[in-house]
Structure 1
Amino acid sequence: MAGEILDNQGRGEAGWQWPAIHPEGRKFGVIAGAIALAFLLILDWEIIGWPMLALTGGIFAFFRDPERVVPQDDRAIISPADGTVSQIIQVEPPRELVGDDGSGHDGLSDGAITRVSIFMSVFDVHINRSPIAGTVKRLVYIPGKFMNADLDKASDENERQHILVERGDGIVIGFTQIAGLVARRIVPFVKPGDMVAAGQRVGLIRFGSRIDVYLPAGTAPKVLIGQKVVAGETVIAELGQQKLIEGVAQ
């Protein structure tokens, strides 16, 4: 299915398939599986072996990397993460993403803009994807704490990595990977200067975390607090659209 064109007029075929396991997670799964088999087959310690075998399955599930059908629309800003929209708030963007960083490339503008925060539990897919197509202009890693990623101050105090992507027409989107209570490693797949497609994989965060997306001025989110979103598929905003959208939990 990878690379196949599908549309809303019936073109294309779809079917369920086992998701791939990202290479970053295979080594952890193999190590846990080997330990489980050692306890079960060599030491005959089932009280440890069976829980370790269940943990092995959980590790492989955590690092699953399913294919996604990415909307091809120049107005669309795509969700970079699977998870739940936990915050929509007006904030000043991180200073690491604002203005010229010395490379001659402008970042985000000063002034309050809309931040959409997406919380990823340990049950969500943790592969992160680019919200737009363009060039990676900045990738800034900042060490920090490991507080609950659902807290507002996690944006300023937790371990995090800022990514800035600029389109060919000059539109810039900034987003931040934030480690959480259990997460202990942010793994980038891209570097400054790389060209990325909308929905392309750009990194992952191990074991529970959050993504903050900074929308351009004049753009309001199309998602609601509490809504589940899918990386690479859910359109979280359309450039220039500011319509109020309300939802009902039921």
Structure 2
Amino acid sequence: MFHKEGAPSISLGIVFTVAVLLLADKFIDIYWLRMLVQIFAVLFLIIILQFFRNPKRAVLTNDDLILAPVDGKVVVIEEVYEGEYFKDKRLQVSIFMSPINVHVTRYAMNGIVKFSKYHPGKFLVAWHPKASEENERTTVVVENDTFGAVLYRQIAGALARRIVNYAQEGMQVVQGTDAGFIKFGSRVDLFLPLGTPINVVLNQKAIGGKTIIATKK
């Protein structure tokens, strides 16, 4: 399965690959060179297809858990000041996605969307300390009775040029379902209430909708 946001890129990739294969076969007489060009064209299409893959995952929803919103590596676990919505200290957990990770964003918890805002911005590398405040990003707050309000932020990276966010204020959202997509490299930050028990460690691999990030107190 492929994510619907990949349809334009996949279509262009197929057209480009077919065109290269046909043109190379017609105009390149040197066998090894023709094969090299055609192999690169096929590899290009494979890269696009794997980037937009959208594996279906059975998620057992649980109001007592915060699940990973994306696939990737846990790169930050620290207490920080969150200045956009809460304007106080929160526990930040950040997951970095490389270009080879699945880039679907999933809701980390059940609840109601209280806030959703898009911010245009820079395209610093996703692990840059200022990326959370200066890069193109979306900020979404979901609230439920167990954890209260939890904020997650989709952050574009150096290669990302489009963030897709489906969350709208007032929506009732279901843990593990599709919340959006970030194209070509990025990061997602979670901001949890202080004292929330964290279930992951730095450099741990996270799987969206599967890995338990935090549990209730």
Calculate the TM-score normalised by the size of structure 2. Answer: 0.90
Aligned to 1:195: 172
Q: What is the rounded CA distance, in whole Å, between the counterparts of 1:225 and 1:125 in structure 2?
A: 20
Q: What is the rounded CA distance, in whole Å, between the counterparts of 1:30 and 1:48 in structure 2?
A: 20
Q: Deviations over 1:65-93 (max 9, x none)?
A: 11123233221011101000001111111
Residue 9 of structure 2 is aligned with which of 13, 23, 28? Answer: 28
Matched to 1:57, the amino acid is: I
Residue 118 of structure 1 is aligned with which of 70, 95, 105? Answer: 95
Aligned to 1:61: 50
Tell me if structure 1 keeps the 8 A contact 2:24–2:37. Answer: no
Matched to 1:69, the amino acid is: A
Aligned to 1:246: none
Q: What is the rounded CA distance, in whole Å, between the counterparts of 1:190 and 1:52 in structure 2?
A: 36
| 2:82 counterpart of 1:93 | yes
Q: 1:54: Cα distance to partner?
A: 1.1
Please list, as runs of the form range in 1=range in 2, the aligned pairs for 1:1-250 lying within 5 A after superposition. Answer: 20-44=1-25, 46=34, 47-95=36-84, 97-98=85-86, 110-167=87-144, 171-240=148-217
Q: What is the rounded CA distance, in whole Å, between the counterparts of 1:68 and 1:118 in structure 2?
A: 19
Q: 1:57: Cα distance to partner?
A: 1.1
Q: What is the rounded CA distance, in whole Å, between the counterparts of 1:156 and 1:190 in structure 2?
A: 20
Aligned to 1:12: none
Number of residue pairs the alignment of both structures matches: 209
Tell me if structure 2 keeps the 8 A contact 1:83–1:120. Answer: yes
Mark the CA change 1:172 to 1:65 in structure 2 (over 3 Å): closer, same or farther. same
Q: 1:111: Cα distance to partner?
A: 2.5
Tell me if structure 2 keeps the 8 A contact 1:136–1:194. Answer: yes
| Structure 1, unpaired ranges of 5+ | 1-19, 99-109, 241-250
Q: What is the rounded CA distance, in whole Å, between the counterparts of 1:25 and 1:188 in structure 2?
A: 14
Tell me if structure 2 keeps the 8 A contact 1:33–1:52. Answer: no
Q: 1:43: Cα distance to partner?
A: 4.9
Q: Deviations over 1:95-120 (max 9, x none)?
A: 1x22xxxxxxxxxxx42221001000
Q: What is the rounded CA distance, in whole Å, between the counterparts of 1:232 and 1:42 in structure 2?
A: 43
The structure with the largest strand share of the pair is: 2
Tell me if structure 1 keeps the 8 A contact 2:77–2:202. Answer: yes
Q: 1:27: Cα distance to partner?
A: 2.2
Matched to 2:187, the amino acid is: R
Q: 1:153: Cα distance to partner?
A: 1.3
Q: 1:169: Cα distance to partner?
A: 6.2
Identity %: 38
Q: 1:179: Cα distance to partner?
A: 0.3
Q: What is the rounded CA distance, in whole Å, between the counterparts of 2:166 and 2:42 in structure 1?
A: 29
Q: 1:189: Cα distance to partner?
A: 2.2
Calculate the TM-score normalised by the size of structure 1. Answer: 0.79
The structure with the largest helix share of the pair is: 2
Q: Deviations over 1:102-151 (max 9, x none)?
A: xxxxxxxx422210010000010000011111111211111111111012
Higher relative contact order (CA 8 A, sep 6+): 2
Question: Any runs of at least 4 consecutive aligned residues in structure 1 with deviations exceeding 4 A, and if so which?
Answer: none
Q: 1:193: Cα distance to partner?
A: 1.8
Q: What is the rounded CA distance, in whole Å, between the counterparts of 1:158 and 1:170 in structure 2?
A: 27
Q: What is the rounded CA distance, in whole Å, between the counterparts of 2:191 and 2:212 in structure 1?
A: 14
For residue 165 of structure 1, give the secondary structure of its aligned residue in structure 2: strand
Mark the CA change 1:169 to 1:82 in structure 2 (over 3 Å): closer, same or farther. closer
